[in-house]
Chain A
Amino acid sequence: MQLILILAGITLIVVLGETVLWTLFRRQAAPLCFEAEADMCSPRRLNMRALGLFALGHGGTLLVISWVYLILLW
C-alpha cells in the first residue's frame, strides 16, 4: 500500500513537472517560432512537435526509471 502511494506521488510529481515546464515553454516560445502556427516550424527553427515528443519521452523515461527503481529496491 505504501509503495503504491509513493509510486502515485512520484507519478504526480513527474507528470506535473513536465506539464508545467512544457506549458511555460510553449507560451514563451510561440512568438519565437516565427510561424503563424506554432505547431510545426521548420527543423532549423523551433520544431514544437519534435520538442513536445522529446518532453513526452523525457517524462516517460523518468517515470519508468522511478517505478522500476522503487519496485526493485523498496
Chain B
Amino acid sequence: MDNDENTLIRYFKGHSSELEKRQIEERLLSDEAFSKLANTLKVEVHIAEILDQQNLANKIKERGFNHLYADENRPKAKKKTLSFIILAIILIGSFFYFFKASLNDQEPIKVQEIYAVNLSNLRSQNGRIEDFEDIQRVIIDRNTDKYASSIRSLQSISIEDSTFLRASYLLGHIYFIQEKYSKSVTAFKNATPKEPGYLQDQCKWYRILALLGSNRNEDAKGLLLELINTNSSFKAKAEVLLNEI
C-alpha cells in the first residue's frame, strides 16, 4: 500500500518516468482499488501543495511590504513624525550655524538647511519619488533600532555588487544626516555613476554639500563649476551656492 502511494505521489508530482507513467495509467483503468486510492491522493497532493503555499503566504503577509510604500500611504502619525524630524534637522542645522558663526568671522554655509530644503523640493517635484522615498526611509529608520543594522548591511555590500551604487548613495545620506561629512563625501563619491546624467549630478550635488560641511570649500567650488559647465539640472542651484561661497 505504501509502495502504491509512493508511486502515485511521484506520478501526481510529475516525477515519474515515461514507462512508469504508462504502467500507472494502464493500472488505473483496470484496478478499481488503485484508481480509488489515486482519486484520494490526487486531492491530498494538491492540498499539501496549497497548505505549504498558504504557510509561506502567511509569513509573507506577516512581514508585509511597508518598506515600499510612499508617504501618502503611511499612517498620518508617521507623516507628523517625518515633518517633526525635518523641522528638527533644520533647527539643529540653524543652531550649529549660529554657534559656529559666533566662533568664526567667516560665515559658514548652512549645508544642513540647504539639504532639508532639497528634500522638501524633491517631495514637491514629485518626479523622482524613489529618491525621496529612499532618503525618507533613512530618516525614519534613524529613530528606530533598525538604523544601526541598516548602516551595517549597507556597508557590507561589496563593490562588485549591482546595488553597490545605491547602497553608497543611501550611506552618503545617512552620514550627512549624522554630520559625518568626510564619510559622506567618500560615500557619495563611491555612489557616483560613470555615465553622465541626473544620478551623476545628484551624487555630485550632495558631495558638494558634504564637502562644505567638512570645510573643504575649494574642492566644493571645483565640483560646483563642473555642475555649472555641464549644464546639469543642478546648474541654477550650483550658481547660487557658488556665489554664497
A and B together in one complex: no
Residues of A within 8 A of B (CB): none
Residues of B within 8 A of A (CB): none
